[in-house]
Amino acid sequence: MKTLVCIGCPNGCELSVEEKANDILVSGNMCPKGKEFAINEIKNPVRSVTSTVKTVYEEVPRLSVRTNGEIPIKYVFPLMKLINTVEVDHPAKRGEVILKDVFHTGVDVIATSDMNYMLRGVK
């Protein structure tokens, strides 16, 4: 038996997970996402990653980004390495894909700020 804290939402349900033969029993979850989270945590834990990338604009030197889905936890630091090599050279829009299909996970890294607004605003 293992206890976990679900990170799906601010409720932070305390989950009890029990591996039985071919089944994983989860209790303590207030919603189905909790179960999904617990099973993932046992089989293949995944996380979303948020960070920033460099830009060429002096006034807005960093652009915030995130993964648009979750990636296996083992890719978190490799993804940071990858993210750190990017330099955005145009006013990216919110939601714009900055890195596509990272580590063949099907997950993209997308911009989360609107650089046009940021550049306009600081002028």
Partner 1 sequence: MKSLNKIKSAINKNVNGEVYLKEWHKSIILEGKVKSWDDFIKAGQIAANKGYKGVVNNMEVEGFKSPPIKAPSIKDGTLDGKKVDVLVIGGGVTGCSILRELSKWDISCLLVDKEEDVAMHASSRNDGMVHPGIEPKPGSNKARFNVEGNRLYTQIAKELDVPLNRTGSLVLFDKKILKAAFPIVDARRKKNGLDKIKLVSQSEIKKYEPYADDNVGGALFFPSTAITCPYKMTVAYGENAVMNGAEISLNTIVLSIHKEEDKIVYVETNRGKIFPKVVIDAAGCFADVIADMAGDKFFSIHPRKGEILILDKKKGRLLHSVLAKPSLTIVKGNTKGGGIVKTVDGNILVGPDAYEQPLREDFSTHMENINAIANKHFPILPGINKGDIITYFAGVRAATYEEDFIVEKSEYVENLVYAAGIQSPGFASAPAISREIERITIDVLSKMMKVKKKENFNPYRKGIPDLSLMNENDRSELIKKRPDYGVIVCRCEEISKGEIIDAINSPIPTRTIDGIKRRVRPGMGRCQGGFCMPQVLNIISKEKGIDPTKVTKKGEGSNILVSETKQSK
Partner 2 sequence: MDNYDVVVLGGGPAGLAAALASNECGGKTLIIEREKLLGGILKQCIHDGFGLIRFKEKLSGPEYSGRYIDMVLEKDIDVETSTFVTEIKKQGEEFLITIVNSKYGVKKIKAKAIVLANGCRERTWRQVFIQGTRPAGIYTAGTAQYFVNMMGYLPFKKCVVLGSGDIGLIMARRLTLEGCTVEGVYEAKSTPSGLSRNIAQCLDDFSIPLHLSHTVTRVFGDDRLNAVEISKVDEKMIPIPGTEKIVECDGLVLSVGLIPENEIAESLNIKIDRKTKGPFVDQNLMTGLEGVFSCGNALHVNDLVDYVSESGEIAGENAAKYAKEHKDRKLIRMNADSKFLYAVPQYIDINSLNQKVIAYFRSRDIRDKMTVKLLYDGQVIFSRKYNKLKPPEMERITFDISKLNLKDNGEINIVMEG
Q: Which of 85, 89, 104, 123 binds partner 1 (CB under 8 A)?
A: 85
* Residue 87 within binding range of partner 1, rule CB under 8 A: yes
CA proximity to 49, closest of 91, 81, 10? 81
Nearest CB to partner 1, comparing residues 29 and 67: 67
Burial class for 38, CB neighbours closer than 10 Å (0-12, 13-18, 19+): buried
**Residue 81 binding partner per list partner 1, partner 2, none, with a CB distance cut-off of 5 to 8 Å that depends on partner kind:** partner 1
Q: Which residues contact 118 (CB under 8 A, 6 or more apart)?
A: 59, 60
CA proximity to 40, closest of 10, 17, 60? 17
Nearest CB to partner 1, comparing residues 22 and 85: 85
Minimum distance between the CB of residue 42 and partner 1, rounded to whole angstroms? 33
Nearest CB to partner 2, comparing residues 20 and 121: 121
Could you say which residues in the range 26-65 bind partner 2, by CB under 8 A?
47-52, 54, 61-62, 64-65
CA proximity to 39, closest of 48, 27, 51, 50? 27
User: What is the Cα–Cα distance from 94 to 20, expressed in whole angstroms?
Assistant: 44
Binding site for partner 1 (CB under 8 A): 52-54, 62, 81, 83-85, 87
Binding site for partner 2 (CB under 8 A): 4-12, 14, 47-52, 54, 61-62, 64-66, 73, 76-77, 80, 94, 112-114, 117-118, 121-122
